[in-house]
Structure formats: C-alpha cells, structure tokens
Amino acid sequence: MKIPTVTNCCCCLSLRAAGLLIGAFGVLANMIGVLSGYAMVLNVIGLLVNSWFVFGILKENPRLMLPSIILTFFAIILMFLSPFFFIAYYHSEVTEDKQANNKLAYLCTALSLILYCIGVLSTYLWLVHYSLYKSIKAGAPRGPNVHVHVHKNGGDV
C-alpha cells in the first residue's frame, strides 16, 4: 500500500516551512514538559526526536527525520485506540450510583471525541511530515530556500 503525500501544508505553506514549524512546536512543547518535570523520560525523548527532525530538515538529512516519523505514527495509532481504553476504563469503574456513572460516561465520551479530533489533525500533519521526508529523500525542491547568485561582474544579488 502506497502512503499518499501532499505538496504543501494547509494550501499555503511549503513542506519545509510547515516541517520547521511543526518541529519547533514539538521542541518547545517538550522543553516545557522537561522544565515542568512531567513525564520526564517521554519529554526528553520527544525533545531529542523533534530536535533531530528540525536538524534533518535544515541539513536535508532524511535519516534524522525518520525517528519522528515513526514515533508520531505510533502516537497517532494510540490516539485512535484510546476510545477503546476509555470504554474499558468506564466498564471497570461502573458503580451503583447512576449519576456518577453518567458523569463518567460523558467524560469518557468527551475525551474520546477530543482525542479523535486531535488524531485526525495529527494524521494530516503526519502526512506533511512524511511528504517532506520523502521529498528530501528523493532530493526534490521543498519550498523557498535562500540562494546566492553570482553575476559575471562578481556582485551578489
């Protein structure tokens, strides 16, 4: 099965610009996580992987981007499986109190819908990740780059 690719992000950003924004956001989010001390190991791993992703874009090295592509793919799978975890949790916590059961059911449903929506958005952003990876791997142009042109008289433009 061939994975589809996109040529730009949100109809206006080049893959390179979108990749740098996604990577920078990931680095920033993981830095905040590390500084807060919450899920320290996961945030350190995320910080390394997102940093490699950004560096891979800047150096046009697809191997540095691959860990981010793989980990993000598995995270998306977990997001789509999470409603099943919430259903299992709900059934393990059912009590005789119907009002408490209803609140728990609403909470599990709301969390499932939120994670599903995040999963759909994450899937699109993963396709941007993957498309950028494939284009760098193929050596295709990925968006605006700064080039210096030298004229015959030796001046830069």
129-156 residue pLDDT tens = 999 999 999 885 545 554 444 555 555 5
Share of the chain above pLDDT 70, in %: 88
Q: Which two tokens stand for residue 19?
A: 């990749």
- Is residue 96 domain-resident? yes
Share of the chain above pLDDT 90, in %: 48
pLDDT computed for residue 148 by the predictor: 42
Quick check: 73 and 82 in contact, CB under 8 A?
no
pTM, to two decimals:
0.76
- Is residue 51 domain-resident? yes
Report the sign of the C-alpha dihedral through residues 59, 8, 18, 51, in that order: negative
- Is residue 67 domain-resident? yes
- Is residue 59 domain-resident? yes
- Is residue 108 domain-resident? yes
- Counted domains in the chain: 1
- Is residue 113 domain-resident? yes
150 phi, psi to nearest 5 deg: -105, 125
Between CA 35 and CA 19 the distance in angstroms is 24
Least confident of 44-48, 63-67, 77-81, 145-149: 145-149
The domain of 24 spans: 13-138
